[in-house]
Amino acid sequence: MKIDFVEIKNFRKLKSCKIDLSPKSTIFVGANNSGKTSAMFALVKFLKYRQLILDDFTLSNLSSIDELGVRYVDSTNHVTPQIDDWKDICPFIDVWLNVREDELRYVANIIPTLSWRSGLIGIRLIYEPKDVEKLFKEYVEAYNLARSRSNKAKLWPLNLADYLRQKLKNHFAINAYILDPDKIVPTSAGTMNMAFPQETPYNNSPLDFDPFKKLIRIDVISAQRWLEDSDINGGETKVESNLLSAQLRDYYDRQLDPEHKPSASDLKALIELQTAKDTFDKQISKRFQSAMDELSKLGYPGKYNPEIVIEAKAQASDIISHGTVVKYPIFSDGINRYELPEKFNGLGYQNLISMSFKLISFRDSWINGDRRKSDDEDIDAIPPIHLVLIEEPEAHLHVQVQQVFIKNAYDILRNNPILKNKTTFSTQMIVSTHSSNIAAECEFADLRYFKRIKSETGLPISVVVNLSSVFGTLTQTTRFVARYLKAAHCDLFFADAAILIEGAGERIFMPYFISKYNALDDSFISVLEIGGRYAHYLKPLIDTLGISCLVITDLDSTSVKTKESVMPERGKSYCSSNPTIANWVIINTDLDYLLDLGAESKIESNPKIQNAKTRIAYQTPIKVKFSDGSEYEFIPTTFEDSLAYTNFESFKSIKGKGLIRKFKNAFITENSTQISQEIYKAVENKNAHKAEFALDILYNKDPQNIAIPLYIAEGLEWLENEISSKEDNDFLNKEKD
């Protein structure tokens, strides 16, 4: 049995979304404030704590609550309160289980029909009013009382939302309903991946028990702000210790303590421990006798006072209760072994060991239960599903160990004879992350991308994209993109925008170019070096992520007849051999057409995907003035010659070898024909070291004083406007994630 998918509606940023869960590991990725934490909180609050607060309602629904409150207090129009008033407001989560026929015993009390034998079973957990009439009555009374006391002072409750901030727990509870598998509506890209959950089946009574109590065990490793927040635990935040010694003590209490249900070997050890305690008690009483005699001179203990008895506390659990029980060997000189307490170990590995041990503890508590339970207590059956939520593990781990953790986490959760290579019990791990290192170690099909979009009300909400379906069926393109992203440690899934570049020269200079544009410099821009021959393979992914993308590529002028590279010239019927120009946005390779193409024609906008715009930028003609005042047009074909033509005067005096020296020698001649031929010959030479060219410039000249080639500058200006307009229009009102 596994959780196949969940649908979440009206919870924080998740207005209506579907999240497919992988059989083993599911990784939540997305830019900051995109809804990953909202999804984690929804799972925890609905499935584990079964309690919400008003701030968990989607922000746009608060106005609907207030509108409902206005209707309630309107004495001129009588309102009959009914549950349907809340059907589009209340947060809920639909959990769809995929159940095999041999697992019917687990779900016998929640099957949708008597004829059901296997497949999907859906349960809706909805946070809704317990009694709408009571809510209506008590709110109207409180509202009218406040108004009768004063029409000027702002007394509580100002509106229905204000009332519920204090009284939500009194009037709301989580109810569970069995759903109909035949009414599942699949999501599609055409609807911006919005989910369409079925209506709550109010024609049926809610279940009078927690349907998941014996089906799903949930464990959580939270980030520093803790998923077990104060809103859940009655105002007190549960702070967990990351020290391994503290976790060992808790694990010992639950799983190992010999004083609870001891074995024969445990009894033998306990007898020896108690004998040692008695011997130590006699010795310690002798040692304290003089102090007790001195105390008796003060009149205590007197005739009617109890005597003071000093005993050693020697429970088995005390053996690992102090902070130095866990030590790390530092070195050995062959005779002596030197150790330090765990707090002296490196923080990264200390956290890695701590988090890994938490997973061990989760697994063993799930399978073995709690040893502290007495014999007369009922032994709980093992829930068939173990759901483990790990929120931003990079908050605990530095880069070097993030990949180690994510590669081993799931295996740790299954490292038990009852679990290994068996399907009786399922473990599903969900990880939310901002780390490209973690994402790179995961299967592409396990990634779930949280995408920010603008709702009909103008407020930001999020939808979830299953990246396993981006490219459709498995193709060579799919394999290439997945391999490339893994090799590049791609941060594309967390970016506000993307820039795809041609080669090493652009990669070296791009940070300096970006720094000249404030909006870009303040944003998270993913710069990927992929080259013009492969950039267009990323188009389906870029469109799916819905982020703005600037593709900076090369003109690559080619003879139509010979199919060989040629120096770019007008009127020669040359073309571009660049596959990205041929297959993305422009889809026209005629060189004369490309040289005169306007800026607007280099932009692609996909009306089906909100915010998805891509712009192609390639070398454009550059006019250069010679010292005699004459002006000539040069057509560059790579980043390097475009940079040189743009900084014509500077390159006449710049120091350097290789390409720099060739450019300098050509420019000094101020012969347009000679310059064109020598520069083209230099950049097309297979032995041209373009990375070395860029590094030489950085060494000899302040990059801030280097002018940006026009085709790149135009592209960056476009991208800055795109990001600025999104910030102004979509994300001014950032909803709590």
Convert the pLDDT of each residue in 381-405 to its tens digit: 899 999 999 999 998 888 878 988 9
Q: What is the mean pLDDT of residues 114-134?
A: 96
Question: Tell me, what DSSP letter sits at residue 380?
Answer: P
Least confident of 57-61, 186-190, 228-232, 588-592: 228-232
Query: Residue 536's closest CA among 504, 500, 565?
Result: 500
> Residue 664, class by beta-carbon neighbours within 10 Å (0-12 exposed, 13-18 middle, 19+ buried)?
middle
Query: Residue 452's closest CA among 688, 683, 730, 656?
Result: 730
CA distances to 78, 580, 637, 709, 721 from 600, in Å: 57, 17, 21, 18, 14
The string over 590-599, giving b where at least 16 C-beta atoms fall within 10 Å of a residue's C-beta and e elsewhere, is ebeebbebee
| 643 vs 265, residue with greater confidence | 643
Q: What is the mean pLDDT of residues 583-606?
A: 92
| 453 vs 160, residue with greater confidence | 160
* CA geometry: angle 377, 379, 384, nearest 5 deg: 150
Q: What is the mean pLDDT of residues 676-685?
A: 94
| 279 vs 94, residue with greater confidence | 94
Q: What is the mean pLDDT of residues 502-521?
A: 94
Residue 514: count of CB within 10 angstroms of its CB: 18
Residue 571: count of CB within 10 angstroms of its CB: 7
| The pLDDT of residue 317 is above 50 | yes
324 Cβ contact partners less than 8 Å away, ≥ 6 residues apart? 245, 341
Q: How confident is the model at residue 256 (pLDDT cuts 50, 70, 90)?
A: low
Q: What confidence score (pLDDT) does residue 272 get?
A: 75
Residue the block writes with tokens 């002006």: 631
99 Cβ contact partners less than 8 Å away, ≥ 6 residues apart? 1, 106, 107, 118, 119, 120, 121
**651: three-class secondary structure by DSSP:** helix
Residue 624: φ, ψ to 5° = -120, 135
Mean pLDDT, the chain, whole residue set: 85
Q: What is the mean pLDDT of residues 613-638?
A: 95
Q: What confidence score (pLDDT) does residue 345 get?
A: 54
Q: What confidence score (pLDDT) does residue 492 get?
A: 92
Q: What confidence score (pLDDT) does residue 583 get?
A: 93
Q: What is the mean pLDDT of residues 368-372?
A: 73
| The pLDDT of residue 63 is above 70 | yes
Q: How confident is the model at residue 690 (pLDDT cuts 50, 70, 90)?
A: confident
**301 prior amide bond cis, ω within 30:** yes
Euclidean distance between CA atoms 227 and 154, whole angstroms: 34
Q: How confident is the model at residue 732 (pLDDT cuts 50, 70, 90)?
A: very low
**Continuous segment of H or E residues that includes residue 162:** helix 160-171
**569: three-class secondary structure by DSSP:** coil
CA distances to 319, 338, 347, 349, 364 from 324, in Å: 11, 14, 16, 17, 25
Least confident of 94-108, 260-274, 656-670: 260-274
* CA geometry: angle 21, 129, 233, nearest 5 deg: 65
| The pLDDT of residue 225 is above 50 | no
Q: What confidence score (pLDDT) does residue 227 get?
A: 45
Q: How confident is the model at residue 322 (pLDDT cuts 50, 70, 90)?
A: low
Q: What confidence score (pLDDT) does residue 318 get?
A: 57
The string over 359-385, giving b where at least 16 C-beta atoms fall within 10 Å of a residue's C-beta and e elsewhere, is bbbbbbbbeebebeeeeeeeeeeebbb
| The pLDDT of residue 491 is above 50 | yes
Question: Tell me, what DSSP letter sits at residue 343?
Answer: G
CA 633 to chain CA centroid, nearest Å: 49
Q: What confidence score (pLDDT) does residue 628 get?
A: 94
Q: What confidence score (pLDDT) does residue 75 get?
A: 84
- Say if residues 618 and 553 touch (Cβ distance below 8 Å): yes
